[in-house]
Amino acid sequence: MHDEPILQTYNLSKRYKKRWAVRDLNLIVRRGEVFGFLGPNGAGKSTTIRMILSLVKPTAGRVELFGRALLRNRGSVLKRVGGLVEAADFYLYLSARRNLEIVSALRGDHSSGDIDRVLDVVGLLGRAGDAVKTYSHGMKQRLGIAQALLGNPELVVLDEPTSGLDPQGIKEVRELIQRLSQAGTITVFLSSHLLSEIEQTATSMAIINQGSLVVQGTVAELLASGPSVIRFDARPRERALEILKASPLVDTATVVEPYIQCTVRREATAALTRDLVESGIAVHAIIPRRSLEEYFLSITEGTSDVHAPDLSPPAGITGERLP
């Protein structure tokens, strides 16, 4: 079931005036995947999603959904797709259920069973009678996802669904996406500007930068590929640098203030830390980064409109990012 392509783009391109927002993008999303679409702000994620949902007309290239050209089968294929682009708009003084009833009726669907089902999926059934204005940001976002789930779509496309949420809201939405995919009947396409976000939810991913595809593959493959980088905060530093340079596990070791940065070909964090400690070195911090992470940070750090706190080097010794 994971082999059948459900969404494919062929040289998909969009130009605004003289600028290409998306250029020659070839994506392939297979049934049952959670597909992460990762890129810094301004990379072209929303433009791509709008073209997939037929909200924006491509300048060149095309989209195929369920093996059929979107352009010629718009009505029939889009019935099988649910989308959430930016935050959904709701009537704040009406209840969640009433809001979904209105959307449902606009779609020509009047089955109230479907509304209860989607409210249940997103965990809002108990609050369905409350006015949306009493909802937290995370609850509103879950309601937006509920709306995207109306009509039982085979593919759900979510544009930065955790953007702007607090850590609790992020956790709720992430768990919801995991639940959706575990049911096995739905394919999820979600965008994000955070690698950690994609890593935790997606099974496959593509990275886009300045409108072009950088890489695409399974998350496990991409995160395991290539050399990785470890940063040590170790004292005395000169002695630590000598030890790391002499290690057969280390390809290169250089000072990147205030750290020593090593490139290694395979996982070596534990062995190198032990070598340092056994030589009497005080290790204050260890920051491992995979090559994909290193790469993604290098392209995003060079982008001025990225919010620095989201992508700053991790705090603490585990390399975990703060939420």
State the nearest-atom distance from the C-beta of 50 to ligand ADP, in Å.
Answer: 8
Of 59 and 152, nearer to ligand ADP (C-beta) is 59
Please check whether residue 203 is in contact with residue 33, taking contact to mean a CB–CB distance below 8 angstroms.
yes
CB 311, min distance to ligand ADP, A: 14
What's the rounded Cα separation, in Å, for the pair 110 and 283?
63
Q: Taking the complex as a whole, how short is the minimal distance between the CB of residue 53 and ligand ADP, in angstroms?
A: 13
Q: How far is the CB of 195 from ligand ADP (least distance, A)?
A: 14
List residues bridging with 249 in a β-sheet.
none
Burial class (CB in 10 A: 0-12, 13-18, 19+), 109: middle
User: In the complex with Mg ion, which residue's Cβ is closer, 14 or 45?
Assistant: 45
Chosen from ligand ADP, Mg ion, none, partner binding at 16 (C-beta under 5 to 8 Å by type): ligand ADP
Q: Which residues of 236-262 are buried (b: 16+ CB within 10 A; e: fewer)?
A: eeeebbebbeebebbeebeeeeebbbb
43 binds, among ligand ADP, Mg ion, none (CB under 5 to 8 A by kind): ligand ADP
300 lies in the binding site for Mg ion (CB under 5 A): no
Closest CA to 29 of 203, 145, 149, 161: 203
Q: How far apart are CA 210 and CA 41, in angstroms?
A: 9
261 binds, among ligand ADP, Mg ion, none (CB under 5 to 8 A by kind): none
Residue 39 contact among Mg ion, ligand ADP, none, beta carbon within 5 to 8 Å by kind: ligand ADP
Distance from C-alpha of 13 to C-alpha of 25, rounded to nearest angstrom: 7
Please report how close the Cβ of residue 146 comes to ligand ADP at its closest, in angstroms: 23
8 A C-beta contact, residue 221 and residue 206: no
CB of 308 to ligand ADP, least distance (A): 16
29 or 43: whose CB is closer to ligand ADP?
Answer: 43
CA–CA gap between residue 150 and residue 196 (Å, rounded) = 29
Query: Smallest distance, Å, CB 20 to ligand ADP?
Result: 8
Nearest to ligand ADP of 46, 147 (CB atom): 46
Nearest to 99 by CA among 139, 55, 152: 139
* Residue 44 contact among Mg ion, ligand ADP, none, beta carbon within 5 to 8 Å by kind: ligand ADP
Taking a C-beta distance cutoff of 8 angstroms, is the pair 280, 243 a contact? no
Q: Which entry of Mg ion, ligand ADP, none binds 156, CB below 5 to 8 A by partner kind?
A: none
8 Å CB contact between 18 and 206? no
Residues at the interface with ligand ADP (CB under 6 A): 16, 21, 39, 41-47
How far is Cα 63 from Cα 226, in angstroms, rounded to an integer? 31
Indicate the residue type of 167: P
For Mg ion, the binding residue among 13, 46, 99, 141 (CB under 5 A) is 46
Is 42 or 123 the residue whose CB approaches Mg ion more closely?
A: 42
Q: Which is nearer to ligand ADP, 12 or 115 (CB)?
A: 12
ω into residue 153 within 30 of 0, thus cis?
Answer: no
User: Nearest residue to Mg ion, using CB?
Assistant: 46
State the binding partner of 319 from ligand ADP, Mg ion, none, CB within 5 to 8 A by kind: none
**Footprint of Mg ion on this chain (CB under 5 A)?**
45-46
